[in-house]
Amino acid sequence: MKRLTAAFAAALAFALGPPALADESIVIKFSHVVAPDAPKGKTALVFKELAEKYTNGRVKVEVYPNSSLYKDKEELEALQLGSVQLLAPSISKFSPLGAKEFDVFDLPFLSSDDAHARQMFTSPLMGEFNRKLESKGVSALAYWDNGATVYTCNRPLIWPEDFRGLKLRIQGGKVLDAQVRELGAIPQILPFSEVYQALQTGVVDGEDNVPSNVLTQKFYEVQKHLTVSYHGRVTYALITNKTFWNSLPGDVRAQLDRAVAESTEFFNATAAKDNADALDKIKASGKTELHYLTEAEKKAWITKLMPVHTEMQGRFGKDFIERVYKASGFTPPQS
Q: Which residues bind ligand LMR (CB under 6 A)?
A: 33-34, 90, 171, 192, 209, 213, 234
Helix, coil or strand: residue 304:
helix
| Residue number, 33 or 166, with CB nearest to ligand LMR | 33
Burial pattern 294-321, b for ≥16 Cβ within 10 A else e, equals eeebbebbbebbbebbeebeeebeeebb
**Bridge-based pairing state of the strands 289-292 and 225-228:** parallel
Which residue spans within 176-326 are E strands per DSSP? 186-189, 206-209, 225-228, 233-241, 289-292
Q: Closest distance between ligand LMR and the C-beta of residue 80, in Å?
A: 18
For residue 90, what is the DSSP state? Answer: B
| Residue number, 209 or 255, with CB nearest to ligand LMR | 209
| Residue number, 26 or 44, with CB nearest to ligand LMR | 44
Q: Closest distance between ligand LMR and the C-beta of residue 301, in Å?
A: 20
Q: Closest distance between ligand LMR and the C-beta of residue 168, in Å?
A: 12
Measured between alpha carbons, how far is 61 from 295 in angstroms, rounded to an integer?
Answer: 46
| Residue with the shortest CB distance to ligand LMR | 90
Q: Closest distance between ligand LMR and the C-beta of residue 244, in Å?
A: 22
Answer yes or no: are the C-beta atoms of 57 and 25 closer than 8 Å: yes
| Residue number, 178 or 190, with CB nearest to ligand LMR | 190
Q: Which residues, other chains included, contact 130 with Cβ-Cβ below 8 Å and sequence gap of 6+? A: 139, 140
| Residue number, 94 or 325, with CB nearest to ligand LMR | 94
Q: Closest distance between ligand LMR and the C-beta of residue 303, in Å?
A: 26
